[in-house]
Amino acid sequence: MSGKYTVSREDWSLHRKGEIDRERHREKVREAIKKNLADVVSEESIILSDGRKVVKVPIRSLEEYHFRFDTGKNKHTGQGEGGTKEGDLLGSEQKKGAGKGQGAGEEPGVDYYEAEVTIEELAQLIFEDLGLPNLQQKRKPELASEALEFKDVRKKGLTSNIDRKRTIIEAIKRNALKGKKGFESISRDDLRFKTWDLTFKYESSAVVLAMMDTSGSMGPYEKYIARSFFFWMVRFLRTKYQNVKIVFLAHHVEAKETTEEEFFTKGASGGTRCSSVYKLGLDIIEQRYNPQDYNIYAFHFSDGDNLSSDNDKCIKYVSELLKVCNLVGYGEIEGPYYISSTLRSAFKKINDPKFTCVGIKDKVDVYPALKKFFNPNPQTGL
């Protein structure tokens, strides 16, 4: 080439290229997680971790544009001037799989790599559509949820916070002052950055009763499912709300209040009397949490293997809980040889929109249970 080509240091594409690539990468990670949330939520390595682990998510790599040689021997469906007419059935071109089918494949595979995501980043994606349902105004507005409030536009800031519209407007203004029309280039002085401040939206106080069956009929699988739900429930509440109170209750024939660590690590044995945990929940509410001051929620997980003679008491106490709670949720874990329990059949007698019942057949059902219990607009079905 005879001419010279000079790249300006103020070239807009050079300023944006790295950030564009990073944002594309972040978007690919977000898309991959969202498509597999049910599997990610029930991942055992996450549930059994200390909450500070990094999750590895497989991401399909992006291919660059390039020419490919025809490996199909120049013969494809729909080419040429054949004697077909409207209505004729045309064949479909057969494609060889990338390493699938019988024998060794000859087609190239698809490249994947693992992207590392922290529990906090993962939680933001899982919880973005969740919220406490039926929140009501109470006497004590102590529950605070985080919110981002737009504050200002400045000349300095993070590259990811560039305000494109205001930046272009500044460039047009600068060109206009020089007698130039339109938009030519962007200088460093044209850059404008958005700024936000983290604020808190204060709402009425809330308390959540986490109730789990730890009887002998709750095997390793059943306990794992229950703990998976409560693992994400606790993180959801503490991620999205400040000062929310969580009470941990475990039961077999008898119920007791436990610490958070005991709730997630200790098991028990013996028979099952679910009414004991409902009665304990009512006692705790009466003694410590006035319904006029608190939004109250109760969530119970069990395999439903309850004493038949105890079912009437369960209905009685759940009905009393519904009088003081914004929502009562019951999750029943269905094992491989599951037959609908007498307890779940008994709960069909309860006709109250604030009572929600879910069945979990597989670990991928944990995420739908979270969405159903923590639908911020349950009465509208949103």
Within-domain flag for 91: no
DSSP 162: B
**Domain limit, last residue, from 128, 155, 174:** 128
**Domain limit, last residue, from 95, 128, 161:** 128
* 261 and 323, same domain (yes or no): yes
Within-domain flag for 379: no
* 222 and 351, same domain (yes or no): yes
Tokens, residue 252: 């077999």
Report the domain count for the chain. 3
Radius of gyration of the chain (CA): 29
Predicted local distance difference test score (pLDDT) of residue 1 = 46
* 208 and 187, same domain (yes or no): no
CB environment 292-310: b (16+ within 10 A), e (fewer): eebbbbbbbbbbbbbbeeb
* 159 and 282, same domain (yes or no): no
* 316 and 173, same domain (yes or no): no
Residue 121 in 3-state DSSP?
Answer: helix
- Contact in structure between 351 and 305 (CB atoms under 8 Å): no
* 197 and 54, same domain (yes or no): no
* 363 and 244, same domain (yes or no): yes
Range of the domain at 11: 7-62+111-128
Report in angstroms the alpha-carbon separations of 35 from 4, 42, 62. 48, 14, 17
Q: In a structure prediction context, what are the per-residue pLDDT tens digits for the chain, which is 382 residues long?
A: 444 444 444 555 545 556 666 677 677 777 777 777 777 777 766 665 555 566 666 555 555 555 555 555 555 555 555 566 665 655 555 545 455 555 555 665 555 556 666 777 777 777 888 888 887 877 666 555 555 555 567 676 666 677 777 787 888 887 777 777 776 677 777 887 777 665 555 555 889 999 999 998 888 889 999 999 999 999 899 888 877 899 999 999 999 999 999 998 887 777 889 999 999 999 999 999 999 889 999 999 999 889 989 999 999 999 999 999 999 999 999 876 667 788 998 999 999 999 999 999 888 899 999 999 998 876 533 3
* 19 and 166, same domain (yes or no): no
* 218 and 183, same domain (yes or no): no
- Contact in structure between 336 and 325 (CB atoms under 8 Å): no
